Amino acid sequence: MSIAEIRNQLHLYINNADEDLLALLYKIASQYPDMKQAEHSFSATDMAEFERRRQSRMAGASAIFSLEEVMQKLKPEN
């Protein structure tokens, strides 16, 4: 099972869970070290790349696509 499938399955469990299951899942997750700092942070390199991309977009040097356009590009050719 892929990580994406596991995430989706866990979302289903959580969305349909009773109080006991939610309490159990919460206890497990709260003991996991990485969950205590769920806040995302970006390095200076990441921020510089974001700014470079933003400037490129603002200058019209890069293109953006709608979701429909991206999905069309991803479809395999017959």
pTM of the model: 0.39
CB 55 within 8 A of CB 47: no
Torsion angle (degrees, nearest 10) of CA 30, 35, 36, 38: -140
Q: SS3 helix, strand, coil % of the chain, rounded to 5? A: 70, 0, 30
Give the DSSP letter of residue 42: -
- What digits encode the pLDDT tens for the residues 14-39? 999 999 999 999 898 888 776 555 56
Euclidean distance between CA atoms 47 and 41, whole angstroms: 10
- What digits encode the pLDDT tens for the residues 64-77? 889 999 999 998 87
pLDDT of 78 > 80? The answer is no
